[in-house]
């Protein structure tokens, strides 16, 4: 996703195991001309995260179809220096305990709203 706000572009990475969701989000990101890289597994996501700026916005699904959950991947990224980490999930945000490394929890529909919020900060 190429997002322009305050004369800067923000890149984002998204970890999502559901193929239809990945396709829908990719189409919307392309429509908005946003610089979004989407990954179906944590290994590829973490490899990409190691090669981008720590200012990159990270979006994680909670249930990624692996032993680890998305929020655990978020904690790994936080420990690597990422600060803008969102959990976008079909679960209710009240289902989660306090996770100080997660900046926000919302539905998958909230991904673009979270992203636009980051552009004005």
Which domain, by its residues, includes 24?
Answer: 3-120
**pLDDT of 36 higher than 50:** yes
Give first-to-last CA distance, the chain, whole Å: 17
Domain count, the chain: 1
60: tokens are: 């994680």
Q: What is the pLDDT of residue 88?
A: 92
Q: Which of 59-63, 104-108, 117-121 has the lowest mean pLDDT?
A: 117-121
The domain that holds 13 is classified in CATH as 3.40.50.2300
Q: Can you give the pTM of this predicted structure? A: 0.87
Q: What is the pLDDT of residue 83?
A: 95
Tens digit of pLDDT for each residue in 66-111? 899 999 999 999 999 999 999 998 887 778 888 999 999 988 888 8
Measure the CA–CA gap between 86 and 23, rounded to whole angstroms: 19
Q: What is the pLDDT of residue 2?
A: 39
Q: What is the pLDDT of residue 59?
A: 96
């Amino acid at each position: 996703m190429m997002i322009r706000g305050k004369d800067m572009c923000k890149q984002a990475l998204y970890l999502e195991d559901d193929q239809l969701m990945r396709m829908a989000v990719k189409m919307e990101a392309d429509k908005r001309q946003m610089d979004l890289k989407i990954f179906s597994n944590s290994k590829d996501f973490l490899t990409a995260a190691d090669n981008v700026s720590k200012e990159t916005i990270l979006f994680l699904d909670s249930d990624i179809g692996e032993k680890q959950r998305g929020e655990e991947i978020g904690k790994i990224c936080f420990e690597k220096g990422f600060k803008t980490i969102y959990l976008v999930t079909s679960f209710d945000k009240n289902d989660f305990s306090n996770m100080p490394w997660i900046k926000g929890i919302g539905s998958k529909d909230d991904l673009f709203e979270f992203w636009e919020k980051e552009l004005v900060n």
